[in-house]
Amino acid sequence: MSDAHADQDWRAWFAENGARLRLIARQWTRSEADADDVVQEAFVRFWKHQRHLPGNPNALVVTSIRRAALDLLRRSDRRSVREQAVGADMETVSWFEPEADPRLQSLADSLKLLPPEQREVVVLKVWGDLTFDQIGEQLLISPNTAASRWRYAMEALRKHITVRTHD
C-alpha cells in the first residue's frame, strides 16, 4: 500500500469515527483539550499497531482511548481530586455542536443527571457501539452489571425525558 493510499485510509476512517471517539474520550477526561489529546494518542496507537489485529476494531480503539485517558488522569492528579474535577466539569460539557438536533441536546442534558457509572455504560453502548461483554471488559465489571447499569440508566432517562416533554 502506498503512503498516499494509507494516508487517505486513515483520514477517511477518522473522518467517519472521530467525533464519536472524542465523545467517548470525554467520559474519562477533564476537558475538551484532554479529550482531543487522548483521542489523538489512542488513534495513532491503534492505526499504527492494532488496526490489523483480529477482533472488533471499534473495541480495540475504545480500549486504547480508555487506557490513554486513564494514564493521563493518573499522571495529573490523585484519585479524589480527579473525581471532584470530573464531577464539577460534567456540568459544563458541551456534548454536541450547537447546530445539533435539539433532541440530541436534550438527551445529552439528561445524561448529565445519571450517576457516572450509568452514564459511562450508556456512552460506551450507544456511541462506542460496544456489547455488554466488551463494556464489562472495559470497566472491569461483569457483563450483567453493565446490563443492569444500562437498564437503570434507560429507566432514569425515560422518566426524565417524559417529565421534560410534559413541562
Mean pLDDT of 82-87: 53
Closest-CA residue to 116 (of 149, 157, 164): 149
Instruction: Identify the band that residue 167 occupies on the pLDDT scale cut at 50, 70 and 90.
Output: low
Instruction: Identify the band that residue 144 occupies on the pLDDT scale cut at 50, 70 and 90.
Output: very high
Instruction: Identify the band that residue 77 occupies on the pLDDT scale cut at 50, 70 and 90.
Output: low
CA atoms of 30 and 4, how far apart (whole Å): 35
Percentage of residues of the chain with pLDDT beyond 70: 74
pTM of the complete model: 0.56
- Residue 7's pLDDT is what? 57
DSSP string for 97-118? -TTS-HHHHHHHHHHTTS-HHH
pLDDT in tens, 4-58: 555 567 788 888 888 889 988 988 888 889 999 999 989 888 888 887 888 777 8
> Does domain 96-167 fall into CATH 1.10.10.10?
yes
Mean pLDDT of 110-114: 83
Q: Into which CATH architecture does domain 1-93 fall? A: Orthogonal Bundle (1.10)
The domain limits of the chain are 1-93, 96-167
Q: Are 86 and 70 in contact (CB under 8 A)?
A: no
Q: How many residues does the chain have?
A: 167
Q: Are 149 and 130 in contact (CB under 8 A)?
A: no
